[in-house]
Structure 1
Amino acid sequence: MVRSSKTILSIATIAMLSSCTGLPRSGPDPHLVESQATVKVSASEKKVGIDYALVDINKTVLAHASQTTAPTLNAGFGGGRGGPPNIVLGVGDVVQISVFEAQSGGLFIPVDAGARPGNYITLPNQTISRDGTVSVPYAGKITAAGRPVDAVQLDIAQRLANRAIEPQVVISTITNRSMEASVLGDVKEPKKVELSPAGERVIDVISEAGGLSSPGDETTVTVQRGSKSVTVAYNKLSDTPRENIFVQPGDTIFVNRDRRTYLAFGVTGQSGRYDFDDSNLSLGEALAKAGGLLDDKAEPQAVLLYRVVDRDFLRSLGVDTSHFAGDQIPVIFRANLRDPAAFFAVQKFPMQNKDVIYVSTSDAVELVKFLTIVNSVTSSTRDVVDTRDKIRN
């Protein structure tokens, strides 16, 4: 009788598996997708092949995470409390040079000049050449690029002193191409902004470009200076005076609308993509926005956060990074919410843009799934046996 039941169970199982293609599906069968492929590109054991580090969130990690997740303009470039940049002449600037003499009959002012508003002449406008010089009659080429206006004026006057009568020189900047900063991106009027001796800060030049064309909560500002680039949230820039640093000549400011979001998967109240809304968001707040953990399905000691971090961050934790290539290393941060103290940690652990949260399913739930399948097969077998007995009777 037992052997007969086992035979019936085997036949029923084979029939069920063989008829899977006839069961309802929302798409193609995965086995058919693989078997009918002309070419298959896959890794051994079907693994993704990305090496990652697993880091438990504790007080040590929390201390380093809070220090490394907030780039600042003040720390990156300085200048939040310093003075404005020194304004100097540069290649491409258009200048006007005027030479004054104490009386007529000198080098530039003839004796018979007659009535005139002043004993001076104004030379034609000229552009500071690529070698950084300007030309003044009887003084020759004068180095101007990289020097302040008053230094160049004094240099020209000294060269004319033995020929002109008590010469004095005034240089007016017509076009200051070398002292400009570019403002690009999500502003109303992208442009080059000419910097003044008074000094302009980042928000000043953004205002010169017409202001933001996107919501401040979703806007980031990147300052690129030479080979260095630092990005901060616009709200942080406007709310923190020391972040609003002075702009230097040649800086490029990118204003970018960037929806700061994170993804939540697994057995949360509601999986999906969520906006930060606020400039700062903790892991605890992110879990709450996603509906928290489902207490009848979630495994509290396996709350995982996926992020790519700098190699230096792992080194600061004492992690051996020799197994990884490159400066960016994938890391899974794990929080054990069965530990009461972990709730303090997740409330202080800062989220970053494009983080991924995954809440694991409890082992007990997996066991219930298995028992459900076993019960379903057992019930099907019992029905087959009952049907057979009825046919015999």
Structure 2
Amino acid sequence: MRLFRFQPFFAIILRHGAKLTIFCFPKELKPHQRHVRNRRWIIALTGGLLLLSGCNSLPDSGPTESRINSSQRNPKKNAVGYSIIPITPQLISSLQSEAPPLFSSLDSADPHPMRTSTNDTIGPGDVIQVAVYEVGTALFGSSSSAMSAASSSSGNGLLGAAQPSPIPLLGVDGNGNVQVPFVGQINVAGMTASQAAQAIQSRLKQKSAAPQVMVRIATDIANSVMVYGGVRRPSRIPLTPNREHILDVIALAGGQEHASQTQNQVQNQMDEDYMVRLTRNGRVTEVPLKVVEDDPSQNIVMQPGDRVQLTYEPRTFTSFGASEHVNQIQFPTPILTMTDAISLIGGPSDARADPNAVYLFRFEHTDVLQRMGISVDTSAPTAPVVYQIDMMNPSNYFLAQKFIMRDRDLIYVANAASNKFYKFFSLISTVIAPGIAAAWIVR
């Protein structure tokens, strides 16, 4: 900042880089007026110098493009190891070819691929009902003499109307054993109801005349799945020999919860916002409900012991920097592109933004980054990455229309490098404006 005197004006020239700003004021003042004016300008110049020295400490909404790039190359500042990747047609193709984790991978990882569950076997925790029909002297009858009398009245030595024995419900213990009266302990784990009936009947032939045994699974625990979370009726769903699929058990649990109506407004809940988490044999896979509905191969057959959790996770993205709105926004449509997201935040601010530097921060899958040739830690499922797009290039608007947003993405619009320069002059104007006004008044 320099002060020049020349007739008939005083001039103040402010310089910041290659830019100059000149303030000119009339010199024709009386001595006492000049004294007041000089004192005011000394104060203004001193304040301006102090402000210029502290220009870098002026408040700002975020880093500039150069600051982001330099921080990425500085290992001390880039502690998470993020990379900056420009959005190109090759990048769009690579992201579109990404294969998310699917439920079909659980079937391929089954150690016994040829084994299929028929969902009709008895297991620990089940409760079975055993009915024994006898003729002649009934082992399980309430009165042997009454049974004999009924047999004599039939004329042919057979019981006219056989009644099932009053055997109480039998529980299967943790070892798969069941205790049957007059028979003893029988291991029925892995047997079907008919196989268990044959095993009990073979034991009874030694003690009863021509017994007939029927077994029914009254409470099926072994052949069931747990369905919980965002369903109307969380419960244990018994599987049948019909072999229910994952959408079947969700429907049997009442289906997904619907938003309650509040003040005549219903919250927008889409199938894309529901996640289906399946736990099988110690492995957990999570897939959007919409994917299961659209892809029949992901509507896999349930196996005993599966656990299905339906969760409502509204997809959101966050915006920061020199945009018109700094906010967290929920996806309004099933598929949201980058152009949609930028329009939702009002686009780059004309007064503050650098349209050349629009960034998208994301934790990307490591296999995708490896295909791009980026060195990442393969032991981690995701790695941080920053995608950059130049919105001053018209062709990039077509790329942004194909770039699909994901849940938890962060859009940052970089600040223009001239922001602090303009802020500095705004502060200078605030300081010297009273002096200028006083000089004109004195004049």
* C-alpha distance 162-340 of structure 1, shift in aligned 2 (>3 A): farther
Greater shift, 126-135 or 284-293, is seen at 284-293
Shift of 1:172: 0.7
Could you tell me the percent identity over the aligned residues?
Answer: 26
Select which of 89, 92, 96 maps to 2:125.
Answer: 92
Shift of 1:174: 1.3
* C-alpha distance 260-151 of structure 1, shift in aligned 2 (>3 A): same
Query: What residue number does 1:367 align with?
Result: 418
Classify the secondary structure of the residue corresponding to 2:400. Answer: helix
| Equivalent position amino acid for 2:44 in 1 | A
Classify the secondary structure of the residue corresponding to 1:229. Answer: strand
Q: What is the alpha-carbon distance in structure 1 between the residues aligned to residue 167 and residue 389 of structure 2? A: 73
Classify the secondary structure of the residue corresponding to 1:285. Answer: helix
* C-alpha distance 142-296 of structure 1, shift in aligned 2 (>3 A): same
Select which of 232, 237, 244 maps to 1:200.
Answer: 244
For the pair shown, the structure with the greater C-alpha radius of gyration is 2
Classify the secondary structure of the residue corresponding to 2:222. Answer: helix
Query: What residue number does 2:374 align with?
Result: 319
TM (norm. structure 2) is 0.65
* C-alpha distance 202-321 of structure 1, shift in aligned 2 (>3 A): same
- The 5 Å alignment of 1:107-256 reads 112=148, 114=151, 115=159, 117-118=161-162, 121=165, 123-136=167-180, 140-159=184-203, 168-215=212-259, 216-217=269-270, 218-256=273-311
Shift of 1:320: 1.4
Q: What is the alpha-carbon distance in structure 1 between the residues aligned to residue 106 and residue 396 of structure 2? A: 32
1:301-349 Cα offsets, whole Å, 9 max, x none, are 4221111233333233332124x98443222122344555544433333
- CA RMSD in angstroms comes to 4.6
Q: What is the alpha-carbon distance in structure 1 between the residues aligned to residue 351 and residue 374 of structure 2? A: 35
Q: Is 1:12 matched up with 2:44?
A: yes
Select which of 124, 136, 150 maps to 1:104.
Answer: 136
Shift of 1:297: 5.6
Query: What residue number does 2:103 align with?
Result: 73
| Equivalent position amino acid for 1:279 in 2 | P
Shift of 1:129: 0.8
Query: What residue number does 2:346 align with?
Result: 291
Q: What is the alpha-carbon distance in structure 2 between the residues aligned to residue 98 and residue 287 of structure 1? A: 70
Q: How many residues are treated as equivalent by the alignment?
A: 363
* C-alpha distance 374-203 of structure 1, shift in aligned 2 (>3 A): same
Q: Is 1:330 matched up with 2:384?
A: yes
CA contact (8 A) 1:69 1:350 kept: no
Shift of 1:357: 0.9
Query: What residue number does 1:345 align with?
Result: 399
Classify the secondary structure of the residue corresponding to 1:232. Answer: strand
Q: What is the alpha-carbon distance in structure 1 between the residues aligned to residue 96 and residue 244 of structure 2? A: 31
Classify the secondary structure of the residue corresponding to 1:192. Answer: strand
CA contact (8 A) 1:106 1:163 kept: no
TM (norm. structure 1) is 0.72
Classify the secondary structure of the residue corresponding to 1:151. Answer: helix
* C-alpha distance 347-141 of structure 1, shift in aligned 2 (>3 A): farther
* C-alpha distance 64-117 of structure 1, shift in aligned 2 (>3 A): farther
CA contact (8 A) 2:118 2:240 kept: no
CA contact (8 A) 1:236 1:279 kept: no
* C-alpha distance 374-108 of structure 1, shift in aligned 2 (>3 A): closer
CA contact (8 A) 2:119 2:240 kept: no
Shift of 1:181: 2.5
Query: What residue number does 2:87 align with?
Result: 57
Classify the secondary structure of the residue corresponding to 1:91. Answer: coil
Q: What is the alpha-carbon distance in structure 2 between the residues aligned to residue 314 and residue 186 of structure 1? A: 34
CA contact (8 A) 1:267 1:294 kept: yes
